Amino acid sequence: MMTMTFGEIIGWTGASPEHVDPAQIVANVTIDSRQTVPNSLFIALPGTRHHGHDFVENAWQAGATAMVESTFGLSGGPLLRTDNPLQAMDDMMRQMILARHIHVVGITGSVGKTSLKELTTAVLRTRYDTGQSHGNYNTAIGLPLSFFGESDLMTHFVAEMGMRQRGEIQYLTKIAPPEVAAISNIGPSHLEQLGSMEEIQAAKGEILEGLIEGGTAVLNYDDVRVRELGKRTDHRVLWYGHHADCDLRIIASQIENGHTRIELENHQGRWRVVLPWIGIHHGANVAAALLIGEALGISLADGIRGVENVDEERSRIHPIAIGKMTVLEDVYNASPVSMKAGIDVLKSFSGRKVAVLGDMLELGAAETQGHFEVGQYAADHADLVVAIGSRSQKIAEGAGSLGKHCDTLEDAFHLLQHILRPNDVVFLKASRGMHFEELVRWLKDWGGPQ
């Protein structure tokens, strides 16, 4: 936990205290009253079903102080009143970053930003005490909660910055101003909300506008829209990709024995990396993470040591042995680009290859074509394609004779029980809203074909 006093919080936010000891050190910061302990700061935010104000008395009973809106009706317990508790929480993060001179890395992109966050953290930890945003905590609520929970010795913070509309990343760069900003790629994720690829590009580009003076952009030269953003910025740019002019060039990526061997090249020569994750698409993530490290004073040799020691469990694709078959679980989220990357992993395995694919959400006008193209790609690399969900009818159509369509997870599970064989390799991927984790659980309970 980052050490701070209630007095510092009052100074940073301008909150009006009631029954609060300014010298008291804060035990933790939370938006969940069930996580409060003596001297916690409970930030009462509005939710979809309840308002945090409804749980202030619970927080008091645990010995916590509550940060509430100025109009909150109760009194008698320790309170910090402010016009906007969310804004106040974000102000706390910004002020602590400035006061402690913490170096921030901002990462965004339509696909791969979480993997890049993990690899970047592994690189920076070879030299610095480095924290990171946790899980999918990539919003104005999630970033501060992750930040405050990190070590008091932290000098660097890696912030994944997500968005669903224009202005969100711009706001995140205000509360966590990046010294280094990376964009992995720009694709049709959130096209449904933003309406056009140009709008998505502009929304992602906000991270470059938020760079501090003297900051560095680390950008994917292979992505045309990212390249356009890089040409427009006045900040220093480090490029990665397959082009010969890149600062760190990707020569080759190959999956071998549960690892990915990556060959890179820069002005010093060629470098080889053995990454304990599977996926040739990680060549780009590794190159980006190493350049971020370089921008912050870490040599390529030390950075490679960091990525080679990254936690295997941090990988998005998890191979699971279920009976006599192998299941490649990647059920966190999905887009056409990430679907194809996962199918590339599937094709690297020996055995009959079964792609079990579900709806990709929020694709807007790209929905029909995106699903159909994924079906075509799956048919080129898998032996059987099972598509689940209403949108995925187009995946089945794209897969032609190899495609089978199911309306529900239950239907798909019953189908898989009949068609799967020993030694099959099964790849599962869909948007989070499809709840594919349920299908994984059912397969584990079943135990696979005998």
Show binding-site residues for ATP: 109-115
Question: Do 61 and 180 touch, CB atoms closer than 8 A?
Answer: no
Could you list the residues known to form a binding site, using ranges. 109-115
Nearest to 450 by CA among 323, 305, 263: 323
Q: What's the Rg (C-alpha) of the chain?
A: 24
Task: Specify the DSSP class assigned to residue 216.
Answer: E
DSSP per position, 19-43 = S--TTPBP--EES-GGG--TT-EEE
Q: Which of 421, 397, 323, 404 is nearest to 356 (CA)?
A: 404
Please return the burial class of 202, using the count of CB atoms within 10 Å of its CB with bins 0-12, 13-18 and 19+.
Answer: middle
Q: Are 218 and 124 in contact (CB under 8 A)?
A: no
Nearest alpha-carbon partner for 62 in 86, 18, 28: 28
Residue among 280, 328, 279, 312 nearest 429 (CA): 328
Whether 147 contacts 3, CB under 8 Å: no
* 426 in Cβ contact with 328 (< 8 Å): yes
Q: What is the sign of the dihedral through the CA atoms of 258, 283, 187 and 216? A: positive
Using CA atoms, how far apart are residues 157 and 172, in angstroms rounded to an integer? 13
167: left (phi over 0), alpha (psi -120 to 50) or beta: left
Where does 20-127 show beta strands of DSSP type E? Answer: 29-30, 41-43, 65-69, 79-82, 103-108
DSSP state of 253: E
d(CA 267, CA 246): 10
